[in-house]
Amino acid sequence: MRHTVPIASQFYVTAPQPCPYLADRMERKLFTSLQGIDAGILNNTLSKQGFRRSQNVLYRPACVACTACLSARIDVGKFQPSKSQRRIIKRNAHLQRQPNAPWATETQYELFRSYLESRHSEGGMADMDIFEFAAMIEETPVTSRVIEYYTQEGDLNAVCLTDIFDDGLSLVYSFFDTSQPQNSVGTYMILDHIALAREAGLPYVYLGYWVPGSDKMAYKARFSGVEVFRDQKWAEIDSNDSYKTETNPLEVRPISEQVAHISMPNVTHISGT
């Protein structure tokens, strides 16, 4: 007998901690575990509702008085590279893309440490050792790839941990050689993922969170065709919209209401008598 039932997940909220994007604010996250045979289905469904994956956890911001963080994705069909982005593609044309299974290596870790020391020496990952790095790469219950970029000399130049959704590619975490900032390798990896999504016939590239008012996240709004998830739907970024960054507790739904508005996927199970 076949019967269809919704996936039933438990949702939890983290304790408040300092926001990594906006000064003098506290963040908290709504999260659920990602495991079992239906992990891919759950990942696909919740990612379309603003959730992100970290190892075997799906999360999205659920701050008490702030709604600045907006999940962002690029509509591949609407994307057109700007003049500067075309120059970035040309400057990095020598890099060779190599997709691999999600397996961590010492060479990746060395590049990761160099990247952190240059760009995020005081961030939350600054103390990550090689075992924690391996867990970040390898502990994935969904379809993932480690996409590496090599120079013509065979040196590892950039790495992106990428999830494959039923409707797109998601850049979970990326890092690269920062010794030549003029090459804009971080932007190039996004541009290459757009090309890869086109090759695979996938309509979207998911970028994580765009945070208006955060210089760290400003680059995500520079891609044409960018959409953000707000008010339970995806819509193109509106250049005439201020995208409020001030705190306002009256605009934030209670956690119970947020959970009630999450659409959970249905799965079909086979049972016998």
- Nearest CA to 22 out of 229, 243, 240, 239 is that of 243
Cβ of 195: how many Cβ atoms within 10 Å? 15
Q: Looking at residue 273, what is its pLDDT?
A: 46
The mean pLDDT value for 139-166 works out to 97
pLDDT tens per residue across span 128-148: 899 999 999 999 999 999 999
**Strand, helix or coil for residue 145:** strand
The residues, ordered by sequence, that sit 6+ positions from 132 with a Cβ below 8 Å of its Cβ are none
pLDDT tens per residue across span 87-128: 999 999 999 999 999 999 999 999 999 999 887 656 667 788
Amino acid code (one letter) for 85: Q
Cα dihedral 26, 58, 116, 171 sign: negative
Q: In what order do the strands lie in the sheet with 96-100?
A: 96-100, 144-150, 156-164, 168-176, 204-210, 70-75, 226-230, 233-236
What angle separates helix 83-91 from helix 185-200, to the nearest 10 degrees? 90
Q: Is it the case that residue 66 has pLDDT exceeding 70? A: yes
Rounded to 5 degrees, φ, ψ at 29 are -125, 145
What angle separates helix 106-119 from helix 130-138, to the nearest 10 degrees? 110
Q: Is it the case that residue 232 has pLDDT exceeding 80? A: yes
DSSP of 60-117: EE--SS----EEEEEEGGG----HHHHHHHHHTTT-EEEEE-S---HHHHHHHHHHHH
Residue 255 tokens read as 């956690």
3-state helix, strand, coil in the chain (%, to 5): 30, 30, 40
Q: For the full predicted model, state whether its pTM sits above 0.85.
A: yes
Q: Looking at residue 123, what is its pLDDT?
A: 62
Q: Looking at residue 254, what is its pLDDT?
A: 87
Q: Looking at residue 270, what is its pLDDT?
A: 52
Q: Looking at residue 251, what is its pLDDT?
A: 73
| The Cα angle at residue 166 between residues 60 and 216, in degrees rounded to 5 | 40
Domains, the chain: 2-270 (3.40.630.30)
Q: Looking at residue 118, what is its pLDDT?
A: 84
The mean pLDDT value for 3-25 works out to 81
Beta strands 204-210 and 168-176: pairing type?
Answer: parallel
Q: Report DSSP state, residue 42.
A: H
Say how far residue 59 (Cα) sits from the centre of its chain: 11
Lowest mean pLDDT among 16-30, 176-190, 230-244: 230-244
Amino acid code (one letter) for 209: Y
